[in-house]
Amino acid sequence: MLKFFLLVLLAATVNAQGNAAHGKELFVKYSCYACHGFSGQNGPGARLVPMKIAQAGFIAYVRNPPRPNQMPSYSAKAVPDVEMADIYAYLKTLPDSAPSAKSIPLLNQILTAP
Amino acid sequence: MARSRRGFLKGAAAGAAVGAAAAVAPQPAARAQEAVPRNATAQPNTATLAADTGRRPATVASRIVENPGSDFMVDVLKTLDFEYLAANPGSTFEGLHESLINYGDNKMPEFLTCCHEESAVAMAHGYAKIEGKPMIAMMHGTIGMQHASMAIYNAYVDRVPIYMVAGNHADGAERSPGVASLHSAQDIGALVRDYVKWDDQPYSLGHFAESAVRAYDIAMTPPRAPVLIVANYELQAHPNPQRDLRIPKLSRTTPPQGDSGAVAEAARLLVSAARPLIITERTARTPNGTALMIELAETLQAPVSNQERMDFPNRHPLAGTGGTGYQADVVLNLEVNDVSNSARAARARGAKTISITSLNLSHKSNIQEFGHYPEVDLNIGADAEATLPALIEACKRLITADRRRALDERGAKLAEAHKQARARDIELAAVGWDASPVSLARLCAELWPLIKNEDWSLVSWQGFISQWPRRLWTFDKHYQYIGGQGAGGMGYGAPAAVGAALANKKHGRFSVSIQTDGDLNYAPGVLWTAAHHQIPLLTIMHNNRGYHQEVMFIEQQASIRNRGADRAHIGTKLWNPNIDYAKMAQAYGQYAEGPITDPKDLAPAFQRAIAQVKKGEPALIDVVTQPR
């Protein structure tokens, strides 16, 4: 746990702005889409949209995920902090496309079917 | 009985084109004099060239073969009631091929033209999972067997009966040099013996008859599996010297039923359990198997986890694993290939594990498909479907009125857990609803209302599409889902779907396949086979442009080695250029549209393709999708 907070502290020094356009390229380049979907929310990995954690927490998570057998860890050597900031900036631009099932006629029909 | 075409053959043989069957020594007594091989002057390269360009080697034809052995082979095969035979043509079975289409009139079995032996076997794989009986896949010598080997292995692990016939030039004295030798083997069954249940290479027609009938029985007796009969070239080509050869009557072996004492103990454990769980993979060999599964679950009021073939209806209130916090104290595994993981977890929490599977009755040494040794508390070596009636009755006898009330109370809680799990799944389907590429949930949700009123059958695996059909659709019939590859070998999906659709055709069912792109690219020629034989099948491409599982594996490896995943696409992605599956299907003669990237375009395209399928044709819609 201490290690996690230290990583958060370290990551907090990264430029918070980030380049979303570059982040979009990096999201594909680093194959983030493979588990999280091109949408950032479709796939076997965690939903990244809407991004609810701060940039520092996001970077700390990627550096040291709690379940590395599911989410691979990526060090600063593999993905530099500045690129992590760009990916984070991109994820923040992605729309939350998860309406309630009841609001989608197709899904509501399935939900209410006998 | 097959009608005679010998008169036709005799007349045809008088013309310029003389088949190879007519070229070999026609009588056993004359064989020793046939010292000159059929193409004695040809060098191997020339023979290879001649074979490749369609020219036949020089022959020494001197008479017509009036009664070739392959006609008798057809008589034998007809007694076994095969509807179809799938094959890529090859010279080692040219005699049998000719007999099938002429002497046998290309009926029962009907010849299906395949572009790859892997397609032929995988088509038979899909067909058997719907029809519950085998069809023939025929292979050409060493090369056909090796082409087919992966598909055979899938069927073996998936415990599916396939009746395979392989041609082979067994007699070295009669075999011509060049291609015939290259395609022959001393023991051709050895190429696949590790993953067929039984094989034989008969050396007489009487032997062929007996082994052919025996092979059928072995393939169909649980654990079911592929079998192989070698049809020696010489046996096909030479005249049948015995006019009254007898074909044995098929006498089917009954499936093995569990020992009565063990079944009684299983019932005692299950009835007294506080939280029993049933896990099933391949129990329902027949439609009755599904009915028995329902009866067992309702008798015990136990949840049923079923993610392989359609053993248990997914909308039944007892479908599922019992919900959050349901820690099973007795786990009943029915025809589960590898129970070691669940048994280990059960031991860790002090739970008991029961396994009923016929797999225990048949093991081979080399291939390791049996997994870890199952440390279970009650290991019943038997066919689960055959054992269920006795198990159900034993359970019913033990359930008192008080126990029944307790079980029913549990059942009510399980039904609520099932309802909540389903609601969660449907809510998750909304995630990324308008995303492009298209989400798999959206794809399946758009497709469901268009097929749900048909007598539909899903003939593709759900493992690569996050199980969305199971989560959104309603499965309640035995033929509505055929499960996966068996051994995880890619290249199975497209041909198995075509084979299953072929089986569904005569029942008037609507077959749909959600087809992964990587799988289709192994042997896409099966799209032509479906068009040529007018097999109605709706194929929806799950086109994520890559071998997606492998992308994730390479990412994990890069992470472990402290390297970036920026090169994970190398060797794993199918892009640059993107493959146009609509054009591919059109080239093979199918109606096709795509690529579709906007989810709003799905339903209209699906409707147009469905209209084509209802006319009795295959159709394909290419959808560019999220990875999973």
- DSSP secondary structure of B42-78: --HHHHHHHHHHTPPPP----S--SSBHHHHHHHHHH
The torsion angle over the Cα atoms of residues B269, B271, B273 and B274, rounded to 10 degrees, is: 180
Given a cut of 70, whether residue A40 has pLDDT beyond it is: yes
Show residues of chain B in contact with A41, CB under 8 Å: 431-432, 435
Percent of chain B predicted with pLDDT > 70: 90
Are residues B437 and B566 part of one domain? Answer: yes
What average pLDDT score do residues B105-119 get?
98
Longest pairwise C-alpha distance within chain B:
88
Please name the residue of chain B whose CA is at the shortest distance from the CA of residue A79: B564
Are residues B309 and B333 part of one domain? Answer: yes
Please name the residue of chain B whose CA is at the shortest distance from the CA of residue A28: B566
d(CA B408, CA B228): 49
Show residues of chain A in contact with B466, CB under 8 Å: 44
pLDDT at A17: 82
Query: Which helix (H) or strand (E) covers residue B420, if one does?
Result: helix B401-429
Predicted confidence band at A12 (pLDDT cuts at 50, 70, 90)? very low
Chain B positions touching chain A (beta carbons under 8 Å): 423, 426-427, 429-435, 437, 439-441, 445-446, 448-449, 466, 472, 474, 548, 551-552, 555-556, 558-560, 562-566, 568-569, 626-628
pLDDT tens-digit readout, B156-197 = 999 999 999 999 999 999 998 899 999 999 999 999 999 999
Residue B233 falls inside a structural domain: yes
pLDDT at A46: 92
Are residues B313 and B282 part of one domain? Answer: yes
Residue B50 falls inside a structural domain: no
Are residues B407 and B435 part of one domain? Answer: no
pLDDT at B47: 53
Answer yes or no: do B568 and A104 touch at CB < 8 A. Answer: no
First to last CA, chain B: 52
Given a cut of 50, whether residue B44 has pLDDT beyond it is: no
pLDDT at B362: 86
Please name the residue of chain A whose CA is at the shortest distance from the CA of residue B316: A114
Query: Which helix (H) or strand (E) covers residue B417, if one does?
Result: helix B401-429
Residue B423 falls inside a structural domain: no
Q: Which of A29, A36, A42, A70 would best serve as a mutation to test chain B binding (most B beta carbons within 10 A)? A: A42
When CB atoms are compared, the residue of B430, B568, B626 closest to A104 is: B430
Residue B268's Cβ-count burial label (10 Å; 0-12, 13-18, 19+) is middle
CB contact at 8 A, B530 and B619: no
What average pLDDT score do residues B249-258 get?
98
Which of B166, B22, B152 shows the shortest CA–CA distance to B92? B166
Are residues B435 and B409 part of one domain? Answer: no
pLDDT at B31: 35
pLDDT tens-digit readout, B332-350 = 999 999 999 999 999 999 9
Are residues B380 and B296 part of one domain? Answer: yes
Mean pLDDT for all residues in chain B: 91
Are residues B466 and B383 part of one domain? Answer: no
Q: Give the per-residue SS3 of B204-248.
A: CHHHHHHHHHHHHHHHHCCCCCCEEEEEEHHHHHCECCCCCCCCC
Are residues B229 and B282 part of one domain? Answer: no
Residue B540 C-alpha from the chain's centroid: 20
Q: Which of B450, B566, B576, B623 would best serve as a mutation to test chain A binding (most A beta carbons within 10 A)? A: B566
Q: How far is CA B614 from CA A14, B283, B586, B617, in A?
A: 59, 32, 18, 7
Are residues B569 and B435 part of one domain? Answer: yes
What average pLDDT score do residues B26-37 get?
35
CB contact at 8 A, B183 and B90: yes
Predicted confidence band at B16 (pLDDT cuts at 50, 70, 90)? very low
Given a cut of 60, whether residue B49 has pLDDT beyond it is: no
Residue B19 falls inside a structural domain: no
Answer yes or no: do B627 and A68 touch at CB < 8 A. Answer: no
Q: Is B209 left (phi over 0), alpha (psi -120 to 50) or beta?
A: alpha
Are residues B434 and B376 part of one domain? Answer: no
Could you give the 3-state DSSP secondary structure of residue B625? Answer: strand
For the domain that residue B281 is a member of, what is the CATH number? 3.40.50.1220
Show residues of chain B in contact with A43, CB under 8 Å: 626-628
Are residues B551 and B590 part of one domain? Answer: yes
pLDDT at B50: 56
What average pLDDT score do residues A87-100 get?
89
Show residues of chain A in contact with B559, CB under 8 Å: 68, 72-74, 78
For the domain that residue B493 is a member of, what is the CATH number? 3.40.50.970
Domains and CATH numbers, chain A: 2-112 (1.10.760)
In chain B, the number of structural domains is 3
Q: Residue A17 carries which DSSP code? A: -
Are residues B232 and B266 part of one domain? Answer: no
Which residues lie closer than 8 Å to B135 by C-beta, 6 or more apart?
B82, B83, B84, B85, B86, B109, B123, B124, B127, B128, B162, B163, B499
Query: Which helix (H) or strand (E) covers residue B618, if one does?
Result: strand B618-624
pLDDT tens-digit readout, B204-231 = 999 999 999 999 999 999 999 999 999 9
Range of the domain at B202: 67-237
When CB atoms are compared, the residue of A30, A99, A101 closest to B426 is: A101
pLDDT at B41: 41
Show residues of chain A in contact with B551, CB under 8 Å: 31, 34
Answer with the one of B171, B205, B237 that is the final residue of a domain.
B237
pLDDT at A67: 86
Answer yes or no: do A34 and B555 touch at CB < 8 A. Answer: yes
What average pLDDT score do residues B279-303 get?
97
pLDDT at B36: 37
Answer with the one of B373, B392, B415 that is the final residue of a domain.
B415
Residue B51 falls inside a structural domain: no
Q: Alpha helix (H) ranges present in B333-400?
A: 340-348, 384-398
Chain A positions touching chain B (beta carbons under 8 Å): 29-31, 33-35, 37-39, 41-44, 47, 68, 72-75, 77-79, 97-101, 103-104, 106-107, 109-111, 113
Answer with the one of B415, B450, B484 that is the final residue of a domain.
B415
pLDDT at B39: 41
pLDDT tens-digit readout, B414-460 = 999 999 999 999 999 999 999 999 999 999 999 999 999 999 999 99
Could you give the 3-state DSSP secondary structure of residue B470? Answer: helix
Range scoring the smallest mean pLDDT among A40-44, B218-222, B598-602: A40-44
> What letter represents residue B48's amino acid?
T
Specify the higher pLDDT residue, B40 or B360: B360
Answer yes or no: do B466 and A78 touch at CB < 8 A. Answer: no
Q: How far is CA B403 from CA B269, B294, B394, B416, in A?
A: 13, 19, 14, 20
Residue B7 falls inside a structural domain: no
Answer yes or no: do B569 and A33 touch at CB < 8 A. Answer: no
Task: Enter the tokens of residue B590.
Answer: 């199918």
Given a cut of 80, whether residue B401 has pLDDT beyond it is: yes
Answer yes or no: do A72 and B555 touch at CB < 8 A. Answer: yes
Please name the residue of chain B whose CA is at the shortest distance from the CA of residue A109: B449
Residue B252 falls inside a structural domain: no
Answer yes or no: do A34 and B446 touch at CB < 8 A. Answer: no
Show residues of chain A in contact with B565, CB under 8 Å: 30-31, 72, 74, 78
When CB atoms are compared, the residue of A72, A75, A101 closest to B429 is: A101
Show residues of chain B in contact with A111, CB under 8 Å: 423, 426
Residue B12 falls inside a structural domain: no
Q: For residue B205, how many C-alpha atoms fall within 13 Å in the half-sphere facing its CB?
A: 27
Strands of B335-451, DSSP E:
352-357, 378-381
A vs B: CB pairs below 8 A: 114
Predicted confidence band at B57 (pLDDT cuts at 50, 70, 90)? low
